[in-house]
Chain A
Amino acid sequence: MKTASITMIIGSALLLGLFFFPLWSISLEAPQYPSGIGMYIHLDGLEGHEKHDIQNIDGLNHYIGMRKLPKKDEMWEFTVFPIVIGGMAALGIIIGLLGFFKKVSYKWFLGWLILLTVLGVMGMFDFNAWMTDYGTNLDPKAIMKMTDANGNPLSYKPPLFGSKDILNFTAHSYPALGAILMGIGMFLTFIAYIIGLKKAK
């Protein structure tokens, strides 16, 4: 149980990486941007890959009527997400410690992981909903109003995961270091559960 608990503590502690590294990265490629332009999504706000990338993405987006990218205080998520992640990390570490002192069983590890997964899916759902709104809810006075082959307004929603061509840009959307650490952490907590399970047999 000691190995399993330590693994659980390490795994849940890796969530704290999200306070230091970005969750997601969206980058845009176009001929006029040889070194690219893009942004990191942090738990508590957006940040350009380069100092002024947010301003420059807003500048590009205004041609197609997209709203300006939200500041920290313009989205409740940037306040709530750090609390949720911080709380989950603390909870995981506490469960791990309790496991170490044999106060709780390894099943709690799985319980924690399921809770985090549910929260994570909700977070992704929310993120996707925001991107859909951001990419389709356009200014009626937009300079350029592009339509698809069926005459419907074009959506400029960046992909949740992967790459997609949007007008002259190719958008790439992938997890960044914070999310990768979180993924490793979640995997470790699952391993903790498996170790606990095997030890119990």
Chain B
Amino acid sequence: MKTIQKLLLSLSAGLLLVGCGNNSNQSNGNSGAMASSNAEKVYVAPGEHDEYYAFMSGGYSGNVTVYGLPSGRMFKEIPVFSQFPTNGYGYSEETKAMLNTSFGFVPWGDAHHPDISQTNGELDGRWIFINENNTPRIARISLETFETDEIIEIPNSAGNHASSFVTENTEYIVAGTRFAVPNPQKDMPIDEMKGEFKGPLSFISIDQDTGHMNLEFQLNMPGFNYDLAHPGRDKSHGWFFFTSYNTEEAHSMQEVNASQNDKDFIAAVNWKKLEEYVKNGGGKKVAGTYAHNIYDESTQTATTEMKEGVISVDPRNVEGAVYYMPVPKSPHGCDVDPSGEYIIGNGKLSTQLSVYSFTKIQEAIKNKDFDGDAYGIPILKFESVLEGVVDSGGLGPLHTEFDGKGYGYTTFFISSEVVKWKVGTWEVVDRKPSFYSVGHLMIPGGNSRNPFGKYMISLNKITKDRYLPTGPELEHSAQLYDISGDKMELLSDFPTHGEPHYAAGIPAEMLKSKSKKYYELEENNHKYAAKSEDATRVERNGSEVHVYATTVRSHFAPDNIEGIKVGDKVYFHITNLEQDFDVPHGFSIIGANTSEILIMPGQTKTITWEPKREGVWPFYCTDFCSALHQEMQGYVRVSAKNSNTKLRWSLDDEWRE
């Protein structure tokens, strides 16, 4: 009852902090000597580089943004699940296929949890993965080009939230089901959900050379809502842990009806056992259509393969592979400490963190120390697997990260603070308010065997008065803490784009030297590339016209085109001949019903144009490429549908046809 009162108190008091006693004024850090030393800590002088990359999920923007720490400067937005008119992603002929799904072309996504590939439990900086919640998908982004290279759809699932977390050698990446659904999908009454719906957990393998993803199998779990996950590491490598809520299996008014059970579950899944089971022919192939989209860097073109069928594994058929562990009601984050011994359940609606011991879990399994079962899946006795409790005094713990120095850091949404506690003794050693209502937090490498415990950022849901107001709609806010000392120090806050859920950080040194500067023209195998001005041309095929054009500072070749007719569909294939760092050219043409395209040096991109009216219509370069950028323009003459205007093109009045 006390908890409920506290909850009500804090909710009714809006954002007043409760239960965080010490020196919240001081840590505000906006006064006197403290502020100036904090300013120095986040100041990265002009021309200097940040120490860390931070990859923030863009949430409902569907994308990933790249920031620097400690400055909080944004470097790039990487389009992933959403069309991005800024560079033509999802509009250009080459990239449209990236957004194909079994539901057709989906122009938007809800990106949640980025995770960087690992080797031996440590960040290796090969790829970053991120999940899409709404139309379940996982994307792989290259950390050489910082572009999305692959997207795989997850069939039979809904609300892919417990994703995209990688195992410690990037063997697998998981996808979860936060909205239990009929599996297979079928037309049935909603209120007959109980026992009928399922919550499949998907295991996707990663090819270590290419990074290509393959949906290996789905664990067809009872229809609870699988919310978050983390893999075991080191000693618990081979296991995966998933939190779940709504073990009530409520189908309506979940905020109340899914909050009735005192305890929900963490599913402990021995994926190595499942892998072996499937390898030996276990599981059965069930229906499930899904799109697998791969961007080929050589042809610079994405293709979609529609796949059918997936191996489904009934957890009850694999002895010793799946257990439930009780956890205080409606847990959110599920985190594993760097040693792999401790699994943290963050009880979203409680004050406590529950810490489970991997050793105790193994003991309890051996001794069959069960407390009944749920749909045939054994429930481990809470007391037998619980190692300790972090009694924080805060309210609404959501997520925990580690600093590699023996401490855990947990965000508390309701009491709006970050709490630092000691692994092993579970005592709270520090707490700092965050502004406001913090969701995830991120320490670079903080979910690996080897965290870089210098900075921590909190990713806050509410922005309110942190910045100059911009009307009712605000960007979200991140806050940077120095965690190198005994006490956390709030250094700065900066706005973040979209709604960053989780983030992933990595030392800049691990990525910056391998970041690609441009694409080699000689390695461009695009079907419609023109690799020199001599190769430029215009070809008509019925009402389809293909323009093979090039750009170089500061002109298009060709820049005059005649013989286009109303009703044609014109494909502008633009190859950027530049071979220097940071010399993109853009292309757009009046009345195009698409976006512009931004073409990197050595790249070919295609956009279509369907002229509606006769006339002479200009196109131009949209990226300020050079001193003669304004002159980088051209004309297309459009004639009537039945006219005899000859198809011809020119540069500097040298007409060809």
Bound-state CA distance A55–B552 (Å) is 11
Residues of A within 8 A of B578 (CB): 59
Using Cβ atoms and an 8 Å threshold, which residues of chain B touch A63? 627-628
Cα separation A63 to B552 with both chains bound (whole Å): 12
Q: Considering the chains assembled together, what is the distance between the CA atoms of A154 and B580 in angstroms?
A: 27
B579 at the interface (CB under 8 A from A): yes
| Interface assignment of B381: CB less than 8 Å from any CB of chain A | no
Q: Mark B565-580, 1 if CB is under 8 A from A, else 0.
A: 0000000000000111
Q: Which of B552, B553, B578, B580 gathers the greatest number of chain A CB atoms within 10 Å? A: B580
Complex Cα distance A55/B627, Å? 18
Residues of B within 8 A of A51 (CB): 579
CB distance from B522 to the nearest CB of A (A): 10
Find out whether the CB atom of B628 lies under 8 angstroms from the CB atom of A143. yes
Question: B627-653, CB under 8 A of A: which get 1 and which 0?
Answer: 110000000000000000000000000
> Is A52 close to B, CB under 8 A?
yes
Q: Judging by beta carbons under 8 Å apart, are B579 and A52 in contact?
A: yes
The interface residues of chain A lying within 8 Å CB-to-CB of B552 are 59
| Per-position 1/0 for B532-552, Cβ under 8 A of A | 000000000000000000001
Chain A neighbourhood of B553, CB < 8 A: 59
Does A3 sit within 8 A of B, measured CB to CB?
no
Q: How far is the CA of A143 from the CA of B629 in the complex (A)?
A: 13
A56 at the interface (CB under 8 A from B): yes
Bitwise, B373-393 to A at CB < 8 A (1) or not (0) is 000000000000000000000
The smallest C-beta distance from A20 to any residue of chain B, in angstroms, reads: 26
Q: Which residues in B have their C-beta under 8 angstroms from that of A52?
A: 579-580
- Are the CB atoms of B628 and A56 closer together than 8 Å? no
A56 to nearest B CB, angstroms? 5
Q: Chain B residues near A56 (CB, 8 Å)?
A: 579-580
B519 to chain A, nearest CB (A): 12
Cα distance, A122 to B593, chains bound together (Å): 64
* Nearest chain B residue, comparing its CB with the CB of A35: B581
- A171–B580 Cα distance when bound, in Å, is 19
A143 to B627, CA, bound (A): 10
Give the residues from 32 to 52 in chain A that come closer than 8 angstroms, CB to CB, to chain B. Answer: 51-52
Nearest CB in chain A: distance from B624 CB, A:
13
A52 to B580, CA, bound (A): 7
For A37, the closest partner residue in chain B by CB is: B580
Chain A nearest Cβ from B256, distance in angstroms? 60
Question: Could you say which of B552, B553, B579, B628 has the most chain A C-beta atoms within 10 Å of its C-beta?
Answer: B579
Query: Could you tell me if B579 and A55 are in contact, using CB atoms closer than 8 angstroms?
Result: yes
The chain B residue with its CB closest to the CB of A32 is B582
- Inter-chain CA distance A59–B626, complex, in Å, is 11
Can you list, as one digit per residue, whether each of B157-169 has a CB less than 8 Å from chain A (1) or not (0)?
Answer: 0000000000000
Q: How far is the CB of B276 from chain A (nearest CB, A)?
A: 48
Q: Which residue of A lies closest to B553 (CB)?
A: A59
Nearest-CB residue, chain A, relative to B579: A52
- Bound-state CA distance A143–B553 (Å) is 12
Residues in chain B near residue A143, CB distance under 8 A: 628
Interface centre among A55, A59, A63, A143 (most CB of B within 10 A): A59
Specify which chain B residues have a CB less than 8 angstroms from the CB of A59 in the assembled complex: 552-553, 578, 580
Cα A55 to Cα B553 in complex, Å, equals 12
Give A47-88 as 1s and 0s: 1 = Cβ < 8 Å from B's Cβ atoms: 000011001100100010000000000000000000000000
Question: Which residues of chain A are within 8 angstroms of B580 by Cβ–Cβ distance?
Answer: 52, 56, 59
Q: State the Cβ distance, B628 to closest chain A Cβ, in Å.
A: 6
Q: How many Å lie between the Cα of A63 and that of B580 in the bound state?
A: 17
Closest to B627 in A: A63
Inter-chain CA distance A59–B585, complex, in Å, is 14
Bound CA–CA A55/B521 (angstroms): 12
A53 and chain B: residue at smallest CB distance: B580
Nearest-neighbour CB distance to chain A for B431, whole angstroms, equals: 44
A contacts, CB < 8 Å to B: 51-52, 55-56, 59, 63, 143
**A-binding residues in B (CB < 8 A):** 552-553, 578-580, 627-628
A-B contact pairs, 13 of them (CB 8 A): A51-B579, A52-B579, A52-B580, A55-B579, A56-B579, A56-B580, A59-B552, A59-B553, A59-B578, A59-B580, A63-B627, A63-B628, A143-B628
Q: Lowest 4 CB-CB distances: which A-B pairs, in order? A: A52-B579, A56-B580, A55-B579, A59-B553
Known pairs A59-B552, A59-B578, A59-B580. 7 more at Cβ < 8 A?
A52-B579, A52-B580, A55-B579, A56-B579, A56-B580, A59-B553, A143-B628
